[in-house]
Structure 1
Amino acid sequence: MEKYLKKRCEQISQELDEIIAKFSKDKDFEEEPSPDSPDSIESPDSTESPDSTDSTESPDSPESPDSPDSTESPDSTDSTESPDSTDSTDSEEEEEEEKSYKDRLDSYQKETGLTEAVQTGIGQINGIPVAFGVMDFDFMGGSMGSVVGEKITRLIEYATNNFLPLIIVCASGGARMQEGSLSLMQMAKISSALFNYQKNKKLFYVSILTSPTTGGVTASFGMLGDIIIAEPNAYIAFAGKRVIEETLKITVPEGLQETEYLFEKGLFDLIVPRNLLKSVLSELFQFHDFFSLNQNSIK
């Protein structure tokens, strides 16, 4: 242990000497070096004043601005006195990250007025009763946690029991990482409820993808609609562009994860602007009315 500490101290000392030497060389371009100590390492600021060589003899002097204990210029940009210092912004980001999950939830609830990243309910489109689920990206990036998964699952079960068509508007960054495996479980739970809704009850589910729709939502209920509608120019993907490029060391072309390109590859049924959605959905439900929806509702 003593050998390791001794070796480590020597390494640190050598690194400091290199930094001080480099600092002294940079100063040589600004002012003439002192003729008495051109290669001085003990006093890197000696190049600023020919009289500063005396300061090295009294390192304890509080009046000496060129004390060897201070290897930085008084005008250094790293000064903690500067209000615009980048250190302050870094500390704010660290404080934000260190907030507990509960505190972050409380903060988003106050900012958005919502309790979670999805709102569910029932309503009508041109007189047709419909079960709705709408995700909100402003609430923690629309991330899917256990509460979001439970609300969507209960919405699907309600629509199944009452023979209602289902619409889910997706806008999400994926599974909520703060909840770990619990958030990943929601993908399977929602998909299982949809299987019963679509396969066993033969009911009609429309998925609407807005920007952005990514991660676990894309990998589960977002792409399970009987009809999948996407908004124009929406960002839709599983993994984000930056993650793909950093992981696979490749360049992702622009527009590769946008609606129009994905539509050409057959991932969606329709691209519909938001102002036309109501009329398009109404037509879809009226067409679906010819199938088992009315017969089931009568029973």
Structure 2
Amino acid sequence: MSWLSNVRNALSSFVPASRETPDNLWHKCKGCGQMTFHKELEENLHVCPHCDHHDRIGAALRFDYVFDGAYTMLPTPRVAEDPLKFRDQKPYPARLKAARAATEEQDALLNAVGTIGAHKAVVGVQDFAFMGGSMGLAVGEAFVRGVEAAIAEHAPYIIFTAAGGARMQEGILSLMQMPRATVAIQMLHDAGLPYIVVLTDPTTGGVTASYAMLGDVQIAEPGALIGFAGQRVIESTIREKLPEGFQRAEYLLAHGMLDMVTHRRDLPATLAQVIDFLTVAKAA
């Protein structure tokens, strides 16, 4: 053993080992670019404390934030997983497998039953992390099951939308979920129950053309991107320059497409107030 090894071993007995900085210690805001401690971001409901940018969140966090406390998850419906035997760069089953591994969920829409401000409610949440929250057979079936659960519980159905549109791998079968959802909403109305929509970033495509715009009350989170086609597609079609931010929640509120834009921390209280108003109004 060399003298250098002796010195190194002697120093290691009283010099603490260096600790590596965790990769997930900081979060860079997509809105303003500021760095925030993950712990601070979590305490602020995943809203940037510098610019109020609302990060996209999954179903589990959404349920935790909106319900009063404990809630019960509804079973995820089983549907045909590859009805068209679709393949692009990868087989469709391989894409489903990857999305399930990444999100630990079966598909893009989950339902749960709980209370919001002491009002029983069934809440559906689309997770954009699951193949862009795209609407296919599973999402359509989950939406219908959520409505049926709301009717059985005699409670409102609240949907948090986040989607890039229909799921291309299911073709016409994905588009058929649009009229299915519309019929389900009519069933809810026939039962005298409210249907409330909370649009989150982003809500686009066939979802916007269907159940995302059929609420008794339309709420959106600040800055949410909401639209059918993209800005470049629209501009190239109509050959006109569109206003900056014309598909953001605040612009849509100013032009009558939404009823309110509500901060994430205020959503539980706002939803409780809306449920209270709508259920009293329908009872009257």
Give the TM-score band, short-chain normalised.
0.5 to 0.7
- 1:258 matches 2:248: yes
Give the CA deviation at 1:97. Answer: 4.9
Instruction: Give the Cα separation in 1 of the matches to 2:246 and 2:239.
Output: 16
Instruction: Give the Cα separation in 1 of the matches to 2:171 and 2:229.
Output: 17
Which of the residues 118, 122, 125 maps onto 1:127? Answer: 118
Q: CA RMSD in A?
A: 1.7
Aligned to 1:173: 164
Instruction: Give the Cα separation in 2 of the matches to 1:246 and 1:99.
Output: 31
Pair member with larger Rg: 1
Letter matched to residue 141 of structure 1: G
Structure 2: state its 5+ residue gaps.
1-86
Letter matched to residue 200 of structure 2: T
Instruction: Give the Cα separation in 2 of the matches to 1:191 and 1:197.
Output: 10
Letter matched to residue 253 of structure 1: P
Give the CA deviation at 1:98. Answer: 1.1
Aligned residues: 198
Alignment of 1:1-299 (within 5 A): 97-198=88-189, 200-292=190-282
SS of residue matched to 1:167: strand
- Provide runs of 4+ in structure 1 moved above 4 Å: none
Structure 1: state its 5+ residue gaps.
1-95
Instruction: Give the Cα separation in 2 of the matches to 1:102 and 1:289.
Output: 43
Instruction: Give the Cα separation in 1 of the matches to 2:156 and 2:119.
Output: 9
Which is helix-richer, 1 or 2? 1
Identical columns (%): 44
Instruction: Give the Cα separation in 2 of the matches to 1:179 and 1:218.
Output: 18
Instruction: Give the Cα separation in 1 of the matches to 2:174 and 2:233.
Output: 20
Q: What TM-score, normalized by structure 2, do the two folds share?
A: 0.66
CA contact (8 A) 2:194 2:279 kept: no
Give the CA deviation at 1:292. Answer: 4.3
Give the CA deviation at 1:278. Answer: 0.5
Q: Deviations over 1:58-116 (max 9, x none)?
A: xxxxxxxxxxxxxxxxxxxxxxxxxxxxxxxxxxxxxx951111101101110111110
Instruction: Give the Cα separation in 1 of the matches to 2:113 and 2:225.
Output: 28
Instruction: Give the Cα separation in 2 of the matches to 1:248 and 1:104.
Output: 35
274-283 vs 238-247, greater mean Cα deviation: 238-247
Higher RCO structure (Cα 8 Å, ≥6 apart):
2
